[in-house]
Amino acid sequence: MVRQANIIILNKRMATNRYTMSHMELEEEWRLIQAAQVNPQRFAVLYSKYYEPIFRFIYLRCVDEDLSADLSSQTFFKAYQKLNTYTFKGVPFSAWLYIIAINEVNQHFRKANKNRVVALEDKFVETIKYEFDNKEELEINIEKLSKVIQMLKPDEITIIELRFFEERPFKEVADILGLTETNAKVKVYRIVQKMKELFNGLNRD
């Protein structure tokens, strides 16, 4: 049985950090990582660079500042411990950090036996309507969006958050989830179709 998500409506928008980087920037970052692999004290540079975006990323998944700080610390501690296993794959270092952060968030909620948190904003209703190409004129509001989100699987929720709520391009979604860009697009398409069916079901009730 899939645990339902705990929906929280945000009144204040938290900006999403993009991590698109040029080839030159990626190469420079890789040199920083290699330096930290040789001298662990150099990890502080990576920590300073990425702490704020990782904190924001986690906060959107628990909406609790103290918990976000704790999970952010755990994320960087595990990254520090595993840094020598990191290999450059042509994507920003933050993609690896986001993967660790997602695992830390999911693990926290499993251990605490609590519902996963999903932060919603009213503007997401229009985002979903636009994505649906709403020819069926489905009745969609924040309450129904909340119900539909609760009926999705955890991995589906993660993809919807990344793609629509945080408005990340497909490449970023793919990098964070360890997918090809094509596979990410296919998964998003399938989840959107599933959501349309769920909205149809709610509108018939």
Same domain, 182 and 102: no
> What is residue 94's predicted lDDT score, i.e. its pLDDT?
92
Same domain, 56 and 93: yes
Task: Mark which of 86, 105, 120 sits at the end of a domain.
Answer: 120
Same domain, 127 and 97: no
Same domain, 153 and 116: no
Same domain, 137 and 159: yes
Same domain, 68 and 155: no
HEC string of 163-178 equals HHHCCCCHHHHHHHHC
Question: pLDDT of the chain along its 205 residues, tens only?
Answer: 345 567 676 655 555 666 678 889 999 999 999 999 999 999 999 999 999 999 999 998 998 999 999 999 999 999 999 999 999 988 899 999 999 999 999 999 999 888 888 888 888 888 888 877 655 666 788 888 889 998 999 899 999 999 988 888 899 899 999 899 999 999 999 999 999 899 988 877 6
Could you tell me the residue range of the domain that residue 145 belongs to?
Answer: 122-205
Same domain, 131 and 100: no
> What is residue 166's predicted lDDT score, i.e. its pLDDT?
87
Non-local CB neighbours of 162 within 8 Å, separated by 6+ positions: 168, 172, 173, 176, 177
Token code pair at residue 111: 């251990």
Q: Is 156 in contact with 191 (CB distance < 8 Å)?
A: yes
> What is residue 1's predicted lDDT score, i.e. its pLDDT?
36
Local structure of residue 152 (DSSP, 8 states):
S
Which residue's structure tokens are 């999403």? 16
Neighbours of 2 (CB within 10 A): 12
Residue 67 is which amino acid?
Answer: L
Task: Mark which of 86, 120, 154 sits at the end of a domain.
Answer: 120
Paired residues of 120 in beta bridges: 9
Q: Is 129 in contact with 107 (CB distance < 8 Å)?
A: no
Same domain, 9 and 90: yes
> What is residue 71's predicted lDDT score, i.e. its pLDDT?
97
> What is residue 119's predicted lDDT score, i.e. its pLDDT?
84
- Count of domains for the chain: 2
> What is residue 11's predicted lDDT score, i.e. its pLDDT?
56
Same domain, 130 and 56: no
Same domain, 104 and 8: yes
> What is residue 54's predicted lDDT score, i.e. its pLDDT?
95
> What is residue 127's predicted lDDT score, i.e. its pLDDT?
83
Task: Mark which of 120, 147, 174 sits at the end of a domain.
Answer: 120
* The model's pTM: 0.84
